[in-house]
Amino acid sequence: MRRPVPGTAAGLAVGVLADLLLADPRSHHPVAGFGTAAAALERRLWQDSRPAGAVFWLVLVGGTVAGGTAADRATRGRPALRTALTAAATWAVLGGTSLGQAADRMHEALAAGDLAAARAVLPSLAGRDPSTLDEAGLVRATVESVAENTSDAAVAPLFWGAVAGLPGLLGYRAVNTLDAMVGYRSARYARFGWAAARADDVANWVPARLTAALTVAVAPLAGGSAAGAWRTWRRDGAAHPSPNAGRCEAALAGALGIRLGGRNVYGGRVEDRPPLGDGPAPARADVVRAVRLSRWVWVLAGALAVAATSRPADAARPSSRT
């Protein structure tokens, strides 16, 4: 981790508070603008090949990181400006509160017995086909999405913001957005999306395991079991087809004493995933419990990111005295 730079910690703290209080920006969201630009570039560059996908990825992620680096350099020695830009970037790239709100909407629709409305909510949470899912399937999809996306939407950007400041915040969100757009294993993106999918796996390797560790730490605060979270994470986390999502889902399943995994349908593709956890399948009330646990996890991640970037610069230097 680089030496703390004045203004970064304050910016991260303000950005976290903005997400807690305001959720995502309601209009002109920078990530949506990035997605529009990426879609336009894809139309020009798409070929059924890995090299074409790698060029696509490099142009977009490289450009985003370059912009973040330029902003980083422009704010050195200007703590107030760095605070403002870091706060705006943090707010833009965080999605923890919006994730919880989407899960809450799912819970409300299911509680009202409105299966059609619940199915309409699912695309904002997960990529699986909602058309044939009953309440049990929608609940499981929601809980699994909350577990996985606690890392993707909140812990990972905070981690990269603490490690690399503005370039880390913006670069991570670019990587994760491109994975969501072209990283699916469909016929169109099997080759073109390969670079985006692999880069996202690398970028999320540490944050996913940090998310699992934080789940263990905060499980009692959400009425869960730290021992269950630790045991299930260590035993079942690697069984998931994703090198990262399984760690988050297993830890949450163990914390809440439920069982995740099973058959998922993504368009015409079917995945049968192994069970994670020993308990019963998640019930509607577990959506609320998962959201509560998720919030504790990412708020603690925010506190750690602020703490890591607020150490006095002199403390990061070894003493020159003998």
Q: Can you give the pLDDT at residue 1?
A: 58
Residue 197 has a pLDDT of: 96
- N- to C-terminal Cα separation, the chain: 26
Each of the 322 residues of the chain gets a pLDDT tens digit; together they read 566 788 999 999 999 999 999 998 777 789 999 999 999 999 999 999 999 999 999 999 999 999 999 999 999 999 999 999 999 999 999 999 999 999 999 999 999 999 999 999 999 999 888 988 999 999 999 999 999 999 999 999 999 999 999 999 999 999 999 999 999 778 899 999 999 999 999 999 999 999 999 999 999 999 999 999 999 999 999 999 899 999 999 999 999 999 999 888 876 778 888 999 999 999 999 999 999 999 999 999 999 999 999 966 444 444 444 4
| 205: number of Cβ within 10 Å | 14
Predicted confidence at residue 71, as pLDDT, reads 95
87 Cβ contact partners less than 8 Å away, ≥ 6 residues apart: 10, 11, 12, 14, 15, 18
Q: Is 321 exposed, middle or buried (0-12, 13-18, 19+ CB in 10 A)?
A: exposed
Q: How do the domains of the chain map onto residue ranges?
A: 8-310
